[in-house]
Chain A
């Protein structure tokens, strides 16, 4: 068993990102789609921290700080939009939200 290298971490990060993307494309529930988006964001932070660790720099770690802040703001606004949407339309299924079509 070899020691865990940067390749391993990037592989895990890519896998997480792919799973998140798959969920975004597959699911129809807006809330679950949003959770999968968060998963993709976390996958990118994992890659940043790994690059930072193996290159001996600080920039990736500090960038993760900002990503966490933006993610918190994004989730608050996104969930407020979903609640407002539910209040208007009584549904949050993506295939029923098609009033902008045609």
Chain B
């Protein structure tokens, strides 16, 4: 049963992620991104990281995709997107695809990632107490830095979106 759920969520995630790339309309792309994030949250649940699945839905699906949709509606652009690859993008895609295939085939061939039976390793992600313990001991400084980063980001967004005196807006 757990296996079936893994394959279902994996297929769902990859299919909707392809939808983000393929959809012409930006609103559809945002909706596909939302579905893809739900799929990833399902995979997190399969990995026993319940708190992270919840946070992913809350932060990404709740805040980030809503922000994307808001901006898409706000800008209301015309659908005149020209597609096609430049020479540089084509080279980058060939290089990236080659590297990916090489990496994955090495992974499968050598079996370096074989960590044994997952039922025997403790699922630490289920315990919320462990998260808080780690965050308040080992990772205390990064947590404070994150708080500072959020403050700076907030100030930066306010500065960026304010209309300054004498700026030459086209509108």
Contacts and interface: CB of A to CB of B under 8 A. Distances in A.
A5 B118 contact: yes
Interface in B6-55: 6-7, 10, 13-14, 17-18, 20-21, 26, 29-30, 33, 36-37, 40, 43-44, 46-49, 52, 55
Contacts of B165: none
Interface in B109-161: 111, 113-115, 118, 121-125, 130-131, 134-135, 138-139, 142, 146, 149-150, 153-154, 156-157, 160-161
Interface in B68-88: 68, 71-72, 74-75, 77, 80-83, 85
Contacts of B104: 11, 14
Given A35-B29, A39-B36, A46-B40, A83 B115 contact: no
A38 B33 contact: yes
B14 A26 contact: no
Contacts of A42: 36-37, 40, 56, 60
A42 B57 CA distance: 12
Contact of B124 (A1, A38, A61): A61
Contacts, number: 226
Interface string A23-52: 101111101101110110010011001101
A49 B44 contact: yes
Interface in A51-83: 52-59, 61-62, 64-66, 68-77, 79-83
Given A53-B48, A56-B122, A79-B68, A39 B20 contact: yes
Contacts of B67: 75-76, 79
Interface of B: 2-3, 6-7, 10, 13-14, 17-18, 20-21, 26, 29-30, 33, 36-37, 40, 43-44, 46-49, 52, 55-56, 59-60, 63-64, 67-68, 71-72, 74-75, 77, 80-83, 85, 89, 92-93, 96-97, 100, 103-104, 107-108, 111, 113-115, 118, 121-125, 130-131, 134-135, 138-139, 142, 146, 149-150, 153-154, 156-157, 160-161, 169-171
7 contacts: A7-B107, A14-B100, A21-B96, A42-B36, A42-B56, A72-B59, A76-B154
